[in-house]
C-alpha cells in the first residue's frame, strides 16, 4: 500500500466512524437505544472470545443472565478470572468459566478447542468477538499481520475446530449459532488476496478494516457450506456500532479527545454494543436463518463485494492453507453431502499468501 493509499484508508475509516456516531447521536436525541427482550437460554452453552472486557464482557454477562453456561476465551488469565467472579456475582449464575485462548497463536487456538472438547459438553453458541484495532505493524506468533491473524484467522480456525461440536449440539428447530462480530469499517475495507499480510507501506486503518471485511466474507461462505449440508448450525455477522471501550488507544488523538469529552452521547455503552451480538445469538426470529448482517438488532445490507461468492471461496481456500486445515468446499458444493469430519490440521500452518 502506497503512502497515499494509507492516508486514504485512514480518512475513509474516520469518515465512516463519523457517520455512525452521528447516527447514534440522532438516535439518542430521538429516545435512545431500547434493550431488546431476550428469551431465557437455560441448558445452552456459549463460548465468547475476548469476554474479559468491553463488548465481550457485556455479551458474557447478558448470556449468563439468560441462564447460559458461558465459557470465556481469553489470553489474560488474571483479568479473565476477575471477570468470571464479577459475572457470577452479578448474575447469580455459577456456570461461567474461563479457558485460555490466544487468538494470535494457532497452536493456542488448537489447544483451546481440544480443552473445550475434553469437557464433553455441548456448544450451542460461538461468539467470535475478540479483536485488536489499528495497532502498529506487528506480527502474530505464526508470522501473520496482527489484524488479519488475530481478528480473522484465529476465529476462522477456532470456528472450524469447533464446528463438529456445534453440529452435534444443534437440532432442527433449535439450531446452534456462530455469531461473528464485524464492524461498519468493513464498508470501507479492501481485501487484496495477493497481499493479505499488508506488506509494503502499512496502514493500521486499512488492515483493521480489511480484517472486518474478511470476517463478513467468512461468515457468508460458512453459511453457504452449512446450508448445503442441511446443518443445524447457522452463521451470521453482528455489527455493534461505535462503542465506548478500551480499543481506542491507537487511534488518532482527536478521536480519543472526542470520545473522552462526548462519548456518553456519541458512543454506545458496552452493554448497548453487546445487544446485537446477544440478539443474533438467541432471538427466535433468526431460528434457522444465516448469512445475515445485523446492526441495531436488524438485518441490513453489507458491502456489495461481500456477496461475491468467488471472493468468499478464494479467501476461504487461502485461509485453509494458512491454518493447515482441509478445504471441504469442493466436496460439499459439488456433491451436497456431509464431508468427512476433518477439521484438525492436516499439515503445518503456513505463514503467507
Asked if 155 contacts 147 with a C-beta cutoff of 8 angstroms, the reply is: no
Residue 249 burial (CB < 10 Å; 0-12/13-18/19+)? exposed
Active-site residue numbers? 208
Helices (H) then strands (E): counts for the chain? 11, 8
Enumerate the β-bridge partners of residue 299: 294
DSSP state of 353: -
| Phi-psi sector, 336: left (phi>0), alpha (psi -120 to 50), beta | left
All three cell numbers of 188: 470501507
Asked if 140 contacts 104 with a C-beta cutoff of 8 angstroms, the reply is: yes
Our measurement of the distance from residue 52's CA atom to the centroid of its chain's CA atoms, rounded to an integer in Å, reads 15
Cα-Cα-Cα-Cα dihedral of 283, 84, 240, 17, to 10°? 180
Give alpha helix (H) positions in the chain: 3-29, 54-65, 77-91, 106-118, 146, 154-169, 204-229, 253-266, 270-282, 309-323, 329-335
All three cell numbers of 113: 478447542
Amino acid at each position: 500500500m502506497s503512502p497515499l493509499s494509507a492516508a486514504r484508508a485512514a480518512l475513509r475509516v474516520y469518515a465512516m466512524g463519523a457517520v455512525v456516531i452521528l447516527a447514534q447521536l440522532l438516535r439518542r436525541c430521538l429516545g435512545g437505544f431500547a434493550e431488546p427482550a431476550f428469551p431465557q437460554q437455560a441448558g445452552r452453552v456459549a463460548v465468547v472470545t475476548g469476554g474479559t472486557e468491553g463488548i465481550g464482557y457485556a455479551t458474557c454477562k447478558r448470556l449468563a443472565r439468560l441462564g447460559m453456561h458461558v465459557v470465556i476465551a481469553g489470553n489474560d488469565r488474571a483479568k479473565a478470572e476477575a471477570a468470571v467472579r464479577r459475572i457470577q456475582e452479578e448474575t447469580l449464575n455459577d456456570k461461567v468459566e474461563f479457558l485460555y485462548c490466544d487468538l494470535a497463536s494457532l497452536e493456542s487456538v488448537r489447544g483451546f478447542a481440544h480443552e473445550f472438547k475434553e469437557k464433553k459438553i455441548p456448544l450451542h453458541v460461538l461468539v467470535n468477538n475478540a479483536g485488536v484495532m489499528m495497532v502498529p505493524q506487528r506480527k502474530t506468533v505464526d508470522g501473520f499481520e496482527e489484524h488479519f491473524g488475530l481478528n480473522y484467522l484465529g476465529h476462522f480456525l477456532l470456528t472450524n475446530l469447533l464446528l463438529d461440536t456445534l453440529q452435534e449440539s444443534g437440532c432442527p428447530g433449535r439450531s446452534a449459532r456462530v455469531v461473528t462480530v464485524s464492524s461498519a469499517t468493513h464498508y470501507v475495507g479492501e481485501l487484496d488476496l495477493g497481499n493479505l499480510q499488508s506488506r509494503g507501506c502499512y496502514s493500521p486503518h486499512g488492515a483493521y478494516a480489511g480484517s472486518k471485511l474478511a470476517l463478513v466474507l467468512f461468515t457468508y461462505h460458512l453459511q453457504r457450506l452449512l446450508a448445503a449440508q442441511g446443518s443445524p448450525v447457522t452463521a451470521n455477522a453482528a455489527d455493534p456500532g461505535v462503542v465506548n471501550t478500551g480499543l481506542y488507544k491507537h487511534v488518532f488523538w482527536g478521536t480519543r479527545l472526542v470520545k473522552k469529552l462526548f462519548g456518553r452521547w456519541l458512543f454506545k455503552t458496552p452493554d448497548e454494543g453487546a445487544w446485537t451480538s446477544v440478539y443474533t445469538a438467541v432471538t427466535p426470529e433468526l431460528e434457522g436463518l444465516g448469512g445475515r448482517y445485523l446492526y441495531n438488532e436488524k438485518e441490513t445490507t453489507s458491502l456489495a463485494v461481500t456477496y461475491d461468492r468467488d471472493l468468499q471461496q478464494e479467501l476461504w481456500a487461502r485461509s485453509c492453507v494458512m491454518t493447515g486445515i482441509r478445504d471441504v468446499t469442493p466436496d460439499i458444493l459439488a456433491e451436497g453431502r456431509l464431508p468427512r469430519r476433518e477439521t484438525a490440521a492436516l499439515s503445518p500452518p503456513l505463514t503467507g499468501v
